[in-house]
Amino acid sequence: MKIYLNGVLAAAAETRIDPFDRGLSLGDGLFETLRVHGGIALRQDAHLKRLRRGAGVLGIPLANSDADLMHALAATIKANDVDEGQARLTLTRGPGMRGIDPPDDPAPTLMIAAVPRAHADVKPVRAIIATHTRRNEFSPLCSIKSLNYLDNVLARREAKGAGADDALLLNSIGAVTESTIANVFVAVDGQIVTPPVKDGALPGVMRADVIKAAGAFEQTLAPHAFGQVSEAFLTNSLGIYPLIEVDGKKIGTGEPGPVCRKLQALV
Amino acid sequence: MKIYLNGVLAAAAETRIDPFDRGLSLGDGLFETLRVHGGIALRQDAHLKRLRRGAGVLGIPLANSDADLMHALAATIKANDVDEGQARLTLTRGPGMRGIDPPDDPAPTLMIAAVPRAHADVKPVRAIIATHTRRNEFSPLCSIKSLNYLDNVLARREAKGAGADDALLLNSIGAVTESTIANVFVAVDGQIVTPPVKDGALPGVMRADVIKAAGAFEQTLAPHAFGQVSEAFLTNSLGIYPLIEVDGKKIGTGEPGPVCRKLQALV
C-alpha cells in the first residue's frame, strides 16, 4: 500500500507521522472519506468544499488548490490500483510542541490513503438508540468532519455490545441526529425527512444529494417517531443502507423500503 | 529530544507514528500531562489511575503495570534531562485499517515525551466565557482525558481572538464547567466551590488535591456568579492560577486572592 503524505507518495511502512502531530495529540484536524468508483473518487467538489469549510472553522491553513488535491487523490488511487473502494483524505494542523495553543506558523499534515473494498455492503441495518453518549449540537464540530470521533466510537461499541449493527445518537434535548457513520432519513406521511444540521446532524455529502433527489425536508426527529414511519434508511458517502429495526422494533414491514431501494441508484 | 514509544526510547526524529494509528484518524485514545519537579513526575498514582479508568471506558487494553509505566516515565524524563518541566503520556488504540469499529486484536500505542518548561507560569488569567462551543456533559468523554480536544482548541482560539488568556466552557444548560486547560474554583460566602463532574468538569488530578486541601464543595456554577465571588482560580497538574477577570469584569479586587496564594504551595 502507498500513502500520499505532504506531496510524496511512499510505501505505508515508510510513511512517518510526527509524534507531535496535533492530529494525534489533540484530534486537531479533519478528514473526508470518498467513494472510489471505476478508479475515480466521487463527489470530489462537495467533499473538498466541506474540507475547506472545516479548515476555516478550525483555522487550519490549506494552501493546496482543489486541483492539487484532486491530482493527489487520483495519484493515490492509481498507485494503489483501486478500482472500487474508498479514499480517505486527512488534514491536521501539523506538529505542535505542547499545549493547546496552535503554533504561530503551522505546517499542516495532508495525508491520503486509498483502499479497495471487499464488497458493496448494503445489507439492512439494525440499530439501537445510544444511551452512553450524545451529540453536542452546541459545538461547531457537529457540522464539520473533524478527527474527534470518539463519541461515535463509544456509541458504536454500545451497539456491537447489544448485538446491533449501528447506533443512533441523540442530541442534548433527546432529538435524533445521525448514526455513528451515517445520516438518517425516514419516510412519514408520504414525506422524506432528515434531522437538521442545527440539531447536530453532520451535513453529509450523500445526505445533500438524497435531500435533492428525494425532495426531503429537514425536520427534528424524536426517537419515538420510528414507531410511526413506513421506512427509514442511512446514508453516507459509501452507500445508502435500509434501517429496518431500532431498539428491537421493526420499522414498517421490517424489509428494505421502496424509497431506499430507488435512491440506492444514486450511489 | 528522546521519545518513549512502545518500550523503546529513541530520538524524536526517528520516532514514527503509524499513519493508520486510530489516535490520529479518530482521536481514539487518552493522555495524561504530569508535572516534573526535581526530575520526578508528580502525582503518578492519581494520573495512572485516571488513565486506567479512561482505558476502561474506551475499552483500550493497557497491558503495562503501573510499575512499568512509572519506569517508562522515569526513563523518559532522565533521557531528556528534565529537572523542572512536564511529561506527557499518550495511549491510543493503535493502528486500525478503516472504519470506526475497533480491530479485534488491538495493538495499543504508548508514547511518553518529557520537556523542560521555560518558567513557572503562574501569572493571573483573564478569561472569557466561550460562546463558540460548549462542553457535552452527556458524554463520558467529559470525565476522561481523551484525545478529542478540539472543542477546547476552538474555545482557546476564541479567547486569544478576544485578547483574553483563556476561555471558560459552559455545558448544554449554560453552567460553567472548566477552562480550556484547567478546572475552575471560586470563593463565595466563605466557601470554596468547583463545578461537579456531572456538569461536565474533568476530574482533574490537581482539582482533587485542591478540594481536599481547601475543603471545597462541588456545586453547579452559573456564569453570573463570577460577579459575586471574592476570588477565583484555575487548577491543572502544572499549576494553580489566579483568575482575575471574566468577560472584562474584575473578580473581587482584580488581584490574586489569598486562598489561591495559599494553595499554590500545593503545586
The answer to whether B159 touches B166, Cβ cutoff 8 Å, is yes
Spatial distance between the Cα atoms of A128 and A119, rounded to a whole number of angstroms = 24
Cβ contact A153–B88 (<8 Å): no
Using pLDDT thresholds of 50, 70 and 90, give the confidence band for residue B120.
low
Tell me the average pLDDT of chain A: 96
Q: Which of A100, A134, A25 is nearest to B182 (CA)?
A: A100
Nearest to B181 among A100, A138, A139 (CB): A100
pLDDT > 90: percent of chain A: 94
Q: Is A18 a residue whose pLDDT tops 80?
A: yes
Computed over every residue of chain B, the mean pLDDT equals: 96
Task: Tell me the DSSP string of chain B.
Answer: -EEEETTEEEEGGG--B-TTBHHHHH--EEEEEEEEETTEETTHHHHHHHHHHHHHHHT----S-HHHHHHHHHHHHHHTT-SSEEEEEEEE--B--SSSSPPSS---EEEEEEEE-SS-----EEEEE--S----TTSGGGGS-BS--HHHHHHHHHHHHTT-SEEEEE-TTS-EEEESSSEEEEEETTEEEE--GGGT----HHHHHHHHHHT-EE--B-GGGGGT-SEEEEEETTEEEEEEEETTEEPTTSS--HHHHHHGGG-
Name which of B3, B28, B86, B148 to mutate to probe chain A: the one with the most chain A Cβ atoms within 10 A of its Cβ.
B148
Nearest residue on chain B to A58, alpha-carbon basis: B154
C-alpha B115 chain-centroid distance: 16
pLDDT in tens, A80-137: 999 999 999 999 999 998 789 999 999 999 999 999 986 556 789 999 999 999 999 9
Q: How far apart are CA B198 and CA B218, in angstroms?
A: 10
Q: Give the H or E element holding residue A193.
A: strand A191-194
**Residue A123: its pLDDT value, please?**
87
Grid cell listed for A264: 440506492
pLDDT of residue A97: 84
pLDDT digits (tens, 9 = 90+) for B190-211: 899 999 999 999 999 999 999 9
The answer to whether the CB atoms of A24 and B58 lie below 8 A apart is: no
- Nearest chain B residue (CA) to A116: B98
Q: Do A136 and B139 touch (CB under 8 A)?
A: yes
Report the chain A residue with the minimal C-alpha distance to residue B85: A98
Residue B116 above 80 pLDDT? yes
What's the confidence (pLDDT) of residue A120? Answer: 59
What ipTM was predicted for this assembly?
0.96
Tens of pLDDT, residue by residue over A164-215, are: 999 999 999 999 999 999 999 999 988 999 999 999 999 999 999 999 999 9
* Cβ contacts from A onto B, under 8 A: 170
Nearest CA distance, B113 vs chain A (angstrom): 9
Q: What pLDDT was estimated at residue B90?
A: 98
pLDDT in tens, B23-63: 999 999 999 999 999 999 999 999 999 999 999 999 999 99
pTM equals 0.97
